[in-house]
Amino acid sequence: MNIKTFLLVVSAAFLGWSISHASVTSIPTWNSSGGIYCTANLNEADQTATVNGNQWGGSGAMGLTLLTDTTTDPILTINESINNTSSFAWTQYIINVAMNENFSINSAGVIAPSGWTANITAPSGPDINGNYIGTIDYVGGAPVAVNGLFDFGYVIQFSGLTQYTLTESVTAVPEPGAFALLMAGGLLVSGGLVAKRRQAKLLRVRA
């Protein structure tokens, strides 16, 4: 079962497709920043947004503009496939989802790797920027290996407008051993820079 099928089954069971809902008609723009690059497209027939990308850093952000035909509570499934092009395996993946209108996160799941679970913190707000923010904390399971794919998704429902902005701020958490190595490497690099500065200062003084 792929992630699209999985999340459509979950959302249909949870919400009931017999109720009339608005439709997301297009995703005219998308963007990404930080240590991630993504592209997005919409399957209007089954109300699924597919996001594909690469993540080479520990954190990054992705944004979508969503247009709907009416203001009445559309339901959108967001499926993502992110290639881990960083230098470490992931054992946790935290997503802060922000929208410019109140919304709900109704389900979340991971197809690959196996054994992951999703903990949802319901959106709250608005914050000082007028956004409502919820959190999905994906916890492994089998780590997402370097150059491996993380296939996951979630379902959102929202209402009140015909144009929305959705932003994901993501953080990939390394294995504890890898984190210690990264910290040690950072300390070595910073220590080397300090030593070089001191040596350069001594040479200037002697000159």
CA distances from 108 to 9, 18, 36, 127, 201 (A): 12, 21, 21, 24, 55
- Residue whose tokens read 């247009």: 67
pLDDT of residue 86: 97
Q: How far apart are CA 128 and CA 130, in angstroms?
A: 6
Confidence of residue 197 (pLDDT cuts 50, 70, 90): low
Report the candidate in 153, 143, 151 with the shortest Cα–Cα distance to residue 173: 143
Could you tell me the two tokens for 51?
């996001």
More confident position, 1 or 157:
157
Q: Which sign does the torsion angle of CA 125, 129, 131, 136 carry? A: negative
**Has residue 24 got a pLDDT over 60?**
yes
Among 104, 113, 88, 103, which residue's Cα sits nearest to residue 176? 88
Coil vs helix vs strand at 3: helix
Q: Where are the alpha helices (DSSP H) in the chain?
A: 3-15, 176-206
Q: Report, as an integer, the average pLDDT of 122-135.
A: 97
